[in-house]
Amino acid sequence: MTLFATLFNFLRRHSELAYRIPVTIPELEQMPDMPSKWLNLLRLSYDYIESSQASAQ
């Protein structure tokens, strides 16, 4: 379910939104294809988790 929500909200274009992505992330807009977008999204998530854990210590 989490992966579907990620695809649906951060990567997939919607016809009801004039084929825009609901939640845009500037770092993903530069990626040439879907596999690159997924990998970059995972990297951004990992970086966020690391920085959150570091600031909590």
Distance between CA atoms of residues 36 and 41, nearest Å: 8
Domain region containing 33: 2-56
Predicted pLDDT of residue 53: 94
Predicted pLDDT of residue 26: 94
Predicted pLDDT of residue 57: 81
Q: What is the mean pLDDT of residues 2-29?
A: 93
Neighbours of 25 (CB within 10 A): 14
Q: Are 21 and 12 in contact (CB under 8 A)?
A: yes
Quick one: what percent of the chain has pLDDT higher than 70? 100
As for how many domains the chain has, the answer is 1
Quick one: what percent of the chain has pLDDT higher than 90? 86
